[in-house]
Amino acid sequence: MTRLLLVDTSDQLPGLLPLHAWSALMSSELVVVGDPEHPFLPHLELAELRCEVVAADDDAALSRHDLLSGLTPRDKRRAERVVDRAREVGVAAYLFGPADTEAFTRTLGMEAARAGVEVEVVYFGVAPKGLALLDLVRVEERLRGPDGCPWDRQQTHASLARYAVEEVYELLEAIAADDADAIREELGDVLLQVVFHAQIADDDGRFTIDDVARGIADKLVRRHPHVFADVQVADADEVMANWEELKAAEKPERSGVFDGVPSAQPALGYAAKLQSRAARAGFDWADDAAAADQVHLELVELAEAPDDATAQRVLGDLLFSVVALARRRGIDPEMALRGAARRFRERVEAMLEAADRPPSELSRADWEALWQAVKEGIADDGDTG
């Protein structure tokens, strides 16, 4: 019996097929495609498979039933030709492409049934994660292309730098709010920055998005030998120790304790990173209590500072000591401070909403009463901060 194999493809993975779909093509006498620009044609030629492009035209006559079914002359004629070729060779495979529509697929199935041709559908199967990333790459490539967006085309690494920083801060805000939808959206904005910069570099002939992805993937494999090799680790601390040793081996030019720590990052993160590097070198507080004692000492010195210059210096030492205590307790000082700022904002806004008169008319006692009332109300809802 004549057989027609309908082999599904993935628009996001042009030219790639899973093994079972490729095996179906190999078992066919003829592989038919409907587009002379089909992305799989070069692969079929390399495999020395017999293949043909079935051209489409509009000269097919449609019955009233066909018209009511939503068929077009082009789909009708092309489907007839595919079925005819299957009948001629015995076993043929039609390899779907990006231009094929659901209407054509239905037409092809109906024509095969009318001609008594057995149809077997070979589905693509479960697509791997990350296919949508390819869509993003193609969208940005189009935006930077000759017929794309004028604004996108004129951007450089330098002109985009501030947007990368802004998007990261917006992501931090979404994380602090524990808003899953916002986190997803802001991650997309951060991802756009990566793809945008990679496309700029690709246009300049410097590197591509594949170089970026391959580089970080290779780095992750190298620095996780306990996962991808036979190295044994006892806990997360040992994982981090191995990471730093491997990192040092990869970058021998960074011989200093603080080499590679960017000074342009926010002060809290910068302080925490410097302290972390010093601690790895052996310079750290003996325990959490000693770190807390230093915070108390700096507070006393701040209260006793004789002038503004001394107060500013001691205040810096106080903040630095607080960061040290946070680091030892495993707390991210940046996220902790953001959380405190968020709570403060919410409470002040609630105070102003609860006030029975304009802020300028509130006394200190009024402010304190409102603060306590709002704070207790928030605590009743589960916020103990």
Q: What are the pLDDT digits (tens) for 206-233?
A: 999 999 999 999 999 999 999 998 888 8
Which stretch of 31-45, 97-111, 130-144 has the lowest confidence by average pLDDT?
A: 97-111
Structural domains counted in the chain: 4
Rounded Cα gap, residues 296 and 325, in angstroms:
11
The pTM score is 0.64
Residue 302 scores a pLDDT above 70: yes
Other CB atoms within 10 A of residue 186 CB: 20
Mean predicted confidence (pLDDT) in 164-180 = 90
Residue 385 lies in a domain: no
Mean predicted confidence (pLDDT) in 290-315 = 94
Mean predicted confidence (pLDDT) in 250-268 = 81
Q: Determine the pLDDT at residue 376.
A: 79
Residue 382 scores a pLDDT above 70: no
CATH of the domain at 221: 1.10.287.1080
Query: In this structure, are 67 and 50 located in the same domain?
Result: yes
Residue 41 scores a pLDDT above 60: yes
The sign of the torsion formed by the CA atoms of 321, 323, 325, 328 equals negative
Q: Determine the pLDDT at residue 271.
A: 92
Rounded Cα gap, residues 278 and 272, in angstroms:
10
Q: What are the pLDDT digits (tens) for 70-102?
A: 567 778 888 989 999 999 999 999 999 888 888
Q: Of 89, 122, 155, which residue sits at a domain end?
A: 122
Q: How confident is the model at residue 188 (pLDDT cuts 50, 70, 90)?
A: very high
Per the listing, tokens 């750290």 go with 284
Residue 257 lies in a domain: yes
Sheet holding 118-122, edge to edge: 51-53, 30-33, 91-95, 3-7, 118-122
- Residue bearing the bigger pLDDT, 125 or 344: 344
Q: What are the pLDDT digits (tens) for 231-252?
A: 888 888 888 888 878 877 887 7
Q: Determine the pLDDT at residue 244.
A: 78
Query: In this structure, are 362 and 319 located in the same domain?
Result: no
SS (H, E, C) the chain: CCEEEEECCCCCCCCCCCHHHHHHHHCCCEEEECCCCCCCHHHHHHCCCCEEECCCCCCCCCCHHHHHCCCCHHHHHHHHHHHHHHHHHCEEEEECCCCCCHHHHHHHHHHHHHCCCEEEEECCCCCCCCHHHHHHHHHHHHHCCCCCCHHHHHCCHHHHHHHHHHHHHHHHHHHHHCCHHHHHHHHHHHHHHHHHHHHHHHHCCCCCHHHHHHHHHHHHHHCCHHHHCCCCCCCHHHHHHHHHHHHHHHCCCCCCCCCCCCCCCCHHHHHHHHHHHHHHCCCCCCCHHHHHHHHHHHHHHHHCCCCHHHHHHHHHHHHHHHHHHHHHCCCCHHHHHHHHHHHHHHHHHHHHHHCCCCHHHCCHHHHHHHHHHHHHHHHHCCCCC
Domain extent, residue 217, equals 131-248
Give residue 283's Cα distance to chain centre: 37
Residue 59 scores a pLDDT above 70: no
Residue 163 scores a pLDDT above 70: yes
Q: Of 102, 122, 142, which residue sits at a domain end?
A: 122
Residue 15 contacts residue 134 (beta carbons within 8 Å): no
Rounded Cα gap, residues 276 and 282, in angstroms:
10
Which stretch of 9-13, 39-43, 249-253, 353-357 has the lowest confidence by average pLDDT?
A: 249-253
Rounded Cα gap, residues 185 and 162, in angstroms:
18
Which stretch of 55-64, 115-124, 303-312 has the lowest confidence by average pLDDT?
A: 55-64
Percent of the chain with pLDDT over 90: 51
Query: In this structure, are 326 and 339 located in the same domain?
Result: no
- For the record, the structure tokens of 349 come out as 């806004």
Residue 77 contacts residue 56 (beta carbons within 8 Å): yes
Percent of the chain with pLDDT over 70: 93
Query: In this structure, are 244 and 272 located in the same domain?
Result: no
Residue 373 lies in a domain: yes
Query: In this structure, are 8 and 92 located in the same domain?
Result: yes
Query: In this structure, are 192 and 241 located in the same domain?
Result: yes
On the CB side of 261, CA atoms within 13 Å amount to 19
Q: Determine the pLDDT at residue 258.
A: 87
Mean predicted confidence (pLDDT) in 48-67 = 67
Rounded Cα gap, residues 108 and 69, in angstroms:
13
